[in-house]
Amino acid sequence: MRISQLSAESGVAIPTIKFYLREGLLPQGEQTSATRAEYDQSHLRRLRLIRALLEVGRLPVAVIRKIIEAVEDEGTDIHGMLGTAHYALSPAPEPVPDDEDWRSAREIVDHLVADLDWHRVHPDAPTRDELAQTLVTLKHLGMPATRDDLLPYARAADTLVKEHDIRKIPLDGPRDTTVEALVICQVLYGKAFDALRRLAQESESARHFSTRPPADCAAAPEKGPSDEE
Amino acid sequence: MRISQLSAESGVAIPTIKFYLREGLLPQGEQTSATRAEYDQSHLRRLRLIRALLEVGRLPVAVIRKIIEAVEDEGTDIHGMLGTAHYALSPAPEPVPDDEDWRSAREIVDHLVADLDWHRVHPDAPTRDELAQTLVTLKHLGMPATRDDLLPYARAADTLVKEHDIRKIPLDGPRDTTVEALVICQVLYGKAFDALRRLAQESESARHFSTRPPADCAAAPEKGPSDEE
């Protein structure tokens, strides 16, 4: 297809497509004359991936380029390719302090990883440090942050990922599509879970603490009563 | 105690304490002479709450003032008070589009809320719209977003909140302390769960997709192999 059709089918404006071509994010089409190039389904898939990385992952172009290099390098196995996207989507790790609290938090994390049989997680995965940092903050604020406190959360995460997240990633398709699904699944199912947890919290809070009847127990005090749908 | 001791015990600098006094976030101490005021444990608790809202919740001062008004208004029950903090910590809801996709996503959310017996959640809770918006985005990107897809995530959230989150909120203490625990629990346990989910994902990805032996299956391709601890 011509660039105009690629734009129509992908919903990406022609100047933006040309920018991706210049940046090397989108492979050049097949040159059919001095001024014309032909594009195919692989270009459409790549535009979908770029859109997911930009709009869902909110990643900068330099990081997107790195992920696309891993997608294009057939020598990088699927785990390595997914890992590049995976780490790029994680919050930047904070500097690791050299103190006793941090070391003991990091030990809790390593024990949890062993408890859950996650021994394939890289020993230097920044996610380990990130979790240890959160445990240190919890402890400094006087909140429970032991291995036992974390274990039920770790078990729930393990079950959701093994039984549900992983099934949403197509394994036998093109590499672009696999990474696109990982990004969408990690970011959007993460957002969905967070919203579900807040709904459950509002429900529990109303059940335990509200002194008003259910239809009126708005958590938002500025809102008037309204009927259940 | 004098303001200097309040500063020493709370770790909050005197000019910052004076700013909170001027802003009405911290109640005035008891004036013992023209230039001296006495502070007590309630001021220490309030400073802890302000710190949690600022540093953990990353909320602006105007929002913190609203939460503190709910804490100070004994006519607001605990559910209403927690709800004020709860909604303030949620992402700002996006404008609700008037289209078929959005209506059917919102219906899925309302059904889920009923399935989980969360009927005490306010019918106009912004969290419902927020979740519906995420479902619309998933659907537009071609990812699964039906009630059945969401149900296991909702059940996991329900169990974690009922059996664990809620126990971390002290019920019989001062109102400041209850809100402080809610903020810390919601934000930091949310962060911890997100990190745990990413650890589980890395582990599953390595199990299914890595072509290298475990000790070497770094998700980060730029990192060399290293021994398990």
- Identify the structural domains of chain A with CATH numbers, from first to last: 3-76 (1.10.1660), 100-201 (no CATH)
pTM (two decimals):
0.84
- Give CA–CA dist B42/A45, Å, rounded: 59
Strand extents, DSSP E, chain B: 30-33, 36-38
Percent of chain A topping pLDDT 90: 49
Q: Average pLDDT in the B104-132 region?
A: 94
Nearest-Cα distance to chain A for B118, in Å, is 5
Q: Counting beta carbons within 10 angstroms of the beta carbon of residue B207, is it exposed (0 to 12), middle (13 to 18) or buried (19 or more)?
A: middle
**Quick one: pLDDT at residue B118?**
95
Nearest-Cα distance to chain B for A33, in Å, is 34
Residues of B in contact with A70 (CB under 8 A): 221
**Quick one: pLDDT at residue A212?**
64
Q: Say if the Cβ atoms of A83 and B201 lie within 8 Å.
A: no
- Collapsing DSSP to helix, strand or coil, A36 comes out as strand
Tens digits of residue pLDDT in A60-91: 888 899 999 989 998 888 888 888 888 888 87
Place of tokens 């990805």: B205
pLDDT band at A173 (very low <50, low <70, confident <90, very high): confident
Q: Is residue B119's pLDDT more than 70?
A: yes
Place of tokens 């093994």: A162
Q: Which residues contact B176 (CB under 8 A, 6 or more apart)?
A: B42, B45, B46, B48, B49, B71
**Which of these, B71, B85, B150, B70, lies nearest to B118 by C-alpha position?**
B150
Q: Is residue A217's pLDDT more than 50?
A: no
Q: Which residue of A52, A203, A211 is in closest CB contact with B121? A: A203
Q: Which residue of A86, A131, A141 is in closest CB contact with B219? A: A86
Q: Is residue B224's pLDDT more than 60?
A: no
CA B165 to chain centre: 11
**Could you give the angle at which helices B190-209 and A100-115 cross, rounded to 10 degrees?**
50
**Which of these, A51, A7, A50, lies nearest to A29 by C-alpha position?**
A7
